[in-house]
Amino acid sequence: MLNYVFISPVYPVTCTLFCDGLNRMGVTVLGIGDTPYNNLSEQLKNALHEYYYVSTLEEYDQVYRAVAYYIHKYGRIDWLESMNEYWLRMDAKLRTDFNIAVGTREDKIGEIVRKSEMKKKFLEAGIPTARQDIVSDLNSAREFISKVGYPVIVKPDIGVGANGAEKIETEEELEAFYSDLPYAPYVMEEFLSGDICTYDAIIDGNCEPLFESMCTYPPVIDSVANDENIHFYTSPFMPDQLRELGRKTVKAFGADRRFVHFEFIHLAKDYEGIGKAGDYAIMEVNMRPAGGHDPDMMNYAHSADVFMIYAEMVVAGRRLMPDLEMPYYCAYAARKDGHSFTHTHYEIMDRYWEQIVLQEEMPPIDWPSMGRYVYMAKFTEKEDMDGFFRYVLE
């Protein structure tokens, strides 16, 4: 029987479903987290073989002792994951210290958490990407901008999602940024115009995909900065070029036996040395599942169960159950506070009650990036989905 240590199984909430899938496949799922056991959901309690509470996951010694306890009680640990970008470096250190075979160790973690190291891998593999530099001061930033022009994107070299990212369009904004630069290494990239398209996949031990999906977003950094309402969708179909680049990226990073979430720009215009309008250029790799409700949206779009596909990969190294082959477009539309809307909540629910698969209020921490009031629905035709977006957000 496989022993699988799951770090922070409470957050993100989809971790509960990953634990449940592993448990149903007969895996011994051993949780370590900073949420008291009594606060765990019943579903998560039932999915875990045992749970070890630590007062904080930020103290490595506490987590180290928890893993050591599990090894003493259950024997060798086969897998250790958090499914959370924030803990990837700790995951790698634990795998190194306890000689856990599956997953990235400390000697390779830099290339999947540092954006500057990712960029080197993209260039080595010939994967189209924006030009980038580590810009430690105003003069080096000006020198880089003289080559690529405005606007540019600045973001922490090590960061989670779009946190800390900023779009700079003028000399005045550049000077303001460097007058209050946080103490952290930052990278600067040329701005590429276009929607964000993701390559999401569950990868087997040979770096081959067992499941692939695509999600399309408008530029997140603009949505947050302009306080725009949120809409994006998961498609059951994927362009050949994106699929090819996604698989090439998997091989370049040796990303085996894991769920991956890669972000590409679908270029809105030509960029010399990168690609033409309609091509794809990679932004960054994430060696964990997409956050939020994205895994649920993949399930609706593909009539699949990504949590079980992942569990099947862990146990059998392959897929055991096929998709139902009923494709849908799964739409996410979320309203923010401070906007007036043409249609009420009740009108939306009355009009789309057959298509809506989820409606909820998001936690306050997610309101800037994910909106407050969420409507998720599925459609067989893209035109109907576009009409849904207009109706909800008008």
Cα 222 from Cα 226, distance rounded (Å): 6
Confidence (pLDDT) at 182: 63
- Residues 373, 311: Cα–Cα separation, whole Å: 32
Cα–Cα distance between 117 and 211 in angstroms, integer? Answer: 27
| pLDDT of amino acid 367 | 86
Q: Is the dihedral of CA 35, 41, 44, 49 positive or negative?
A: positive
| pLDDT score, position 160 | 60
145-152, long-range: CB < 8 A, 24+ apart: 145/174, 145/188, 148/190, 149/190, 150/191, 151/191, 152/188, 152/189, 152/190, 152/191
State whether the Cα torsion 247-250-256-257 is positive or negative.
negative
H helical segments located in 204-332: 220-225, 240-253, 294-302, 306-316
User: Which pLDDT score, from 0 to 100, does residue 172 have?
Assistant: 94
Instruction: Report angle CA 162, 166, 170 to the nearest 5 degrees.
Output: 160
**pLDDT tens-place string over residues 325-350:** 789 999 999 999 999 999 999 999 99
- What is the arrangement of strands in the sheet containing 373-379, beginning at the earlier edge strand? 280-286, 258-267, 194-203, 209-217, 230-235, 329-335, 373-379, 356-361
Q: Are 334 and 389 in contact (CB under 8 A)?
A: no
pLDDT at 326: 87
C-alpha span between 281 and 192 (Å, rounded): 9
Tokens at 78, concatenated: 């086969």
* Strands of 152-156's sheet in order across: 132-134, 186-190, 152-156, 166-168
Task: Give phi and psi for 325, each to the nearest 5.
Answer: 60, 45
* pTM of the complete model: 0.94
Taking the CB of residue 47, how many other CB atoms lie within 10 A of it? 24
List the beta strands (DSSP E) in the chain. Answer: 3-7, 28-33, 50-53, 79-81, 132-134, 152-156, 166-168, 186-190, 194-203, 209-217, 230-235, 258-267, 280-286, 329-335, 356-361, 373-379
Tell me which residues of the chain have a pLDDT lower than 70. Answer: 160-164, 182-183, 220-225
